[in-house]
Amino acid sequence: MESKVRVEILNKVRKFKVNKTGIKNVVDSIFNELNVKEKGQISIVLLSKNAIREINKRYRKKDKPTNVLSFQIDYEKGKSIYGEILISPEVAQNEAKKLGNNFNDYFIFLIIHGVLHLLGYDHEKDDERIVMEQLEEKLLKEILVKIKRQVVKLCLR
């Protein structure tokens, strides 16, 4: 079943190459696993460490780079979803290395995390965090079994 949500991907970081079809398949898998019926559009934008730091500073008042930011533009359960997910592959790669994780798998995790925020999940309170983390883990396991393709990689130019 293909998602009714259109996914647009914009890569503003030449250092990293993305598999747009792979990323769209990840988002479709998330929506299918969660039985999401909404129609709409999600934009996924890959940004440099400095660019995401500026956005994080402006919107969250945190003057530091972050791995992922989500902006829910419109969400009406059962009807529509519109939003934007910003990911810094540079930050993600550093974090994955520090955690001893596979960069590609960690990047998929960040897509899952961003999409869940667009669907209204949060992790500010402990009970919300537990629910979101369990769902992220479940989705990541299921998606990694289904999607065996690379969605992002470092390009040495």
In this predicted structure, the answer to whether residue 108 has a pLDDT above a threshold of 60 is yes
Displacement of CA 26 from its chain's centroid (Å): 9
- Give the side-chain half-sphere CA count within 13 A for 35: 0
Q: Please provide the average confidence, as pLDDT, over all residues in the chain.
A: 89
- In the chain, the percentage of residues whose pLDDT exceeds 90 is 66
Secondary structure string (H, E, C) spanning 91-157: HHHHHHHHHCCCHHHHHHHHHHHHHHHHCCCCCCCHHHHHHHHHHHHHHHHHHHHHCCCCCEEECCC
In this predicted structure, the answer to whether residue 59 has a pLDDT above a threshold of 50 is yes
Which amino acid type is present at position 72?
A: Q
Categorize the per-residue pLDDT at 149 as very low, low, confident or very high, splitting at 50, 70 and 90. low
Give the C-alpha separation, 2 to 72, whole Å.
22
Please tell me the predicted confidence (pLDDT) of residue 80. 87
The neighbour count for residue 147, using CB atoms within 10 Å, is: 18
Give the C-alpha separation, 121 to 131, whole Å.
8
Q: Which long-range contacts (CB under 8 A, 24 or more apart) does 111-114 make?
A: 111/23, 111/26, 111/27, 111/30, 111/44, 111/85, 111/87, 111/151, 112/26, 112/30, 112/136, 112/139, 112/140, 112/143, 113/68, 113/70, 114/44, 114/68, 114/69, 114/70, 114/85, 114/87
In this predicted structure, the answer to whether residue 150 has a pLDDT above a threshold of 80 is no
Using one digit for the tens of pLDDT, what is the confidence trace for 11-51?
Answer: 999 899 888 989 999 999 999 999 888 889 999 999 999 99
Dihedral pair phi/psi, residue 97, rounded to 5°: -65, -45
